[in-house]
Amino acid sequence: DQQVKQNSPSLSVQEGRISILNCDYTNSMFDYFLWYKKYPAEGPTFLISISSIKDKNEDGRFTVFLNKSAKHLSLHIVPSQPGDSAVYFCAASGNNQGGKLIFGQGTELSVKP
Amino acid sequence: DVKVTQSSRYLVKRTGEKVFLECVQDMDHENMFWYRQDPGLGLRLIYFSYDVKMKEKGDIPEGYSVSREKKERFSLILESASTNQTSMYLCASSAPGGATNEKLFFGSGTQLSVL
């Protein structure tokens, strides 16, 4: 049972435009959400997070939006740059997860010059 | 910066071999995790540990075991490697307590091929 889902395996965006990556979850006990970025042959690196008490968190070009009623979060990258090309993983955690992170399948973003 | 080091970037093993994947972190983190990454499946948790000598099963522990004899080191063991264990293995660590304990720091990964 996939508790965290990223339904788009890939996304292609033109440089300078907005990239929107989506993530859905099923477990209403999740209260903390994170996005990780992964380049080939490297481990994932933390990008941005959001607590369930917020609906938006912004860090430079990256903004994460959380819609608790829809159990949906999204990552916006504005403006997109070729260096943003990577696989992005959504992850969730909650009190009933014992501190573990549950990851989605990942979305491969390609930003074309 | 937190450094999580995995001993091998690439490994090729034969079916039935016993395989050891080693992971060391240098930030005195209590929590350590082993994930595997497969296309279309994302990262799946194999085992984790919140303290020395302690281990907990993750979502896919079958065919694996772990060892945590020292705080900084967490080893993943494939008792008898099989071809379906060909995967990218990722070790991670985190500090306990508060909202930041969910923030994992990952190693670079070990690409294991079982022939």
pLDDT digits (tens, 9 = 90+) for B5-54: 998 999 999 999 999 999 999 988 888 999 999 988 999 999 999 889 88
Task: Give the pLDDT mean for A63-86.
Answer: 97
CA–CA dist A110, B77 (Å, integer):
35
Q: Write the residue in B35, B43, B102 that is nearest to A99 by C-beta.
A: B102
Contact B42 A45 (CB under 8 A): no
Question: Which pLDDT score, from 0 to 100, does residue B2 have?
Answer: 64
Owner of token pair 């968190």: A57
Sheet holding A56-59, edge to edge: A4-5, A19-25, A72-77, A62-67, A56-59
Question: Which pLDDT score, from 0 to 100, does residue A94 have?
Answer: 82
DSSP B101: G
Query: Which parts of chain B are beta strand (E)?
Result: 4-6, 10-13, 19-21, 23-25, 31-38, 42-49, 56-57, 64-70, 73-78, 87-94, 105-106, 110-114
Three-point CA angle A68, A70, A64, nearest 5°: 55
Question: Which pLDDT score, from 0 to 100, does residue B40 have?
Answer: 87
Task: Give the pLDDT mean for A62-68.
Answer: 97
Summarised one tens digit per residue, pLDDT across range A7-64 is 999 999 999 999 999 999 999 989 899 999 999 888 999 999 999 999 999 999 999 9
- Phi-psi label, residue B37: left if phi above 0, alpha if psi -120 to 50, beta otherwise: beta
Within 10 Å of residue B112's Cβ, how many Cβ atoms? 21
Within 10 Å of residue B93's Cβ, how many Cβ atoms? 26
Residue numbers in B near A4 (CB within 8 A): 42
Residue numbers in A near B106 (CB within 8 A): 36, 43-45
**A94 vs B: CB within 8 A:** no
Contact A41 B102 (CB under 8 A): no
Virtual CA dihedral for A89, A45, B86, A22, nearest 10 degrees? 10
Contact B41 A105 (CB under 8 A): yes
Task: Give the pLDDT mean for B65-82.
Answer: 96
Contact A93 B104 (CB under 8 A): no
- Nearest by Cα to B6 from B112, B82, B96, B84: B112
Which residues numbered 30-69 in A keep a CB inside 8 Å of some CB on B?
32, 34, 36, 41-46, 49, 51
Virtual CA dihedral for B84, A42, B100, A96, nearest 10 degrees? -10
Within 10 Å of residue B86's Cβ, how many Cβ atoms? 16
Q: Write the residue in B9, B40, B99 that is nearest to A32 by C-beta.
A: B99
Reported confidence tier of residue A98, pLDDT bands at 50, 70, 90: low
Summarised one tens digit per residue, pLDDT across range B21-30 is 999 999 888 8
